[in-house]
Structure 1
Amino acid sequence: MNKNLIVIGFFTSLAFITSCSKPEQKTEIAEESIQEEPILYTGDNSATSLDWNGTYKGTVPCSRCEGIETTLTLNIDLTYKLSTHYFGLNDALEEDDMGIFTWDKTGSIITLEKVSNGPTQYKVGENRIWQLDSQGNRITGDLADHYILTKIQ
């Protein structure tokens, strides 16, 4: 009888140890998958706090024409469509680019991928976006207000 108790005790201990080790392995797998996911923004920023998806429009200055009518549509799935129309240069000249965009680490600036010609970075604000220069800075000076695209409601 003592042998039976020892065998039962052994199998009970083995079952207990085995059952305790399985959740630990699941936790390790969960922790690994969390590390592979993108880092989420903490706090308020344009990406998390604004209703940024939609269509923005404006006419930006042009050194060789009367202005560039720019229409940028940002979709919730992180795709975009950029349409430009050059006034006075060749009124039939229109360019369309489509692709994806990414947010910077602060969640306030987007970068358009695969733009054929022109700026690729914009700072996103409440119902407006600012076209940025080639270094990713806001354009300053007398014409700075002309580099703002306003959201179409």
Structure 2
Amino acid sequence: MGVALGLFLSCQNTPNSTQQEADSLRITDEHTSQNSLDWAGIYQDTVPCADCPGIFTTVKLYEDGTYAYIAEYIDRNTTVQDSGRFMWHNNGSIVHLKGNNVDEKYKVGENMLLPVDEEGNVIQSELIDQMTLHKVN
């Protein structure tokens, strides 16, 4: 009986080769904007405005998770400023700047911030290129 028990236990401890192959083929892609891109820096551009020539917008993202936001309305005496901590959404691909004066979400791309809607989808518009902020530093 000792030999039979030993054979039974040794069979129980033998790894399933099919499972080993499946485990070795399993690839987890954990690359996100947050952990794969050099996202910290200054992004800016002049974005469209319905009733002025444009809004010169600057977003500064800092590695410590804080931001500074400035939107200067061209040909107006209006500037919106805010700063605070930003949040990462959608598994590290969207930054959410929410403060007293601003509530903006952007998809972080290679050297750019693309505006997104409430669901985190890049805004579909013919003006998307003009709405995108580009990294300057």
Larger helix fraction of residues? 1
Counterpart code for 2:112: R
Larger Rg: 1
| Paired residue secondary structure (1:145) | helix
* 1:135 shift after superposition: 4.3
On the 8 A contact 1:139/1:147 being kept in 2, the answer is: no
Task: Report if aligned partners of 1:86, 1:93 keep a CA contact under 8 Å in 2.
Answer: yes
Shift of 1:43: 1.2
Matched, 1:67 2:46: no
Q: Is the 8 A contact 1:101 1:112 kept in 2?
A: yes
TM-score, length-normalised on structure 1? 0.66
TM-score by length of 2: 0.73
- Structure showing the higher strand proportion among its residues: 2
Q: Give the match for residue 112 of structure 2.
A: 128
Which residue of structure 1 lines up, in the alignment, with residue 72 of structure 2? 85
Where do 4+ consecutive residues of structure 1 move more than 4 Å? none
- Alignment partners' CA distance in 2, 1:83 and 1:95: 6
Aligned-residue RMSD, C-alpha:
1.6
1:17-96 equivalences in 2 (<5 Å): 43-88=30-75, 90=76, 92-96=77-81
Q: How far 1:144 sits from its partner (Å)?
A: 1.3
For 2:129, what is the secondary structure of its paired residue?
helix
Q: Distance in 1 between matches of 2:121 and 2:100?
A: 18
Aligned-pair CA distance for 1:134: 4.2
SS of equivalent residue, structure 1 residue 56: strand
In structure 1, the gaps of 5 or more residues are 1-41
Name the aligned partner's letter for residue 108 of structure 1: S
Q: Hey, what's the Cα distance between the residues in 2 that align with 1:115 and 1:66?
A: 25
Q: CA deviation at 1:105?
A: 4.0
Structure 2, unmatched stretches of 5+, are: 1-28
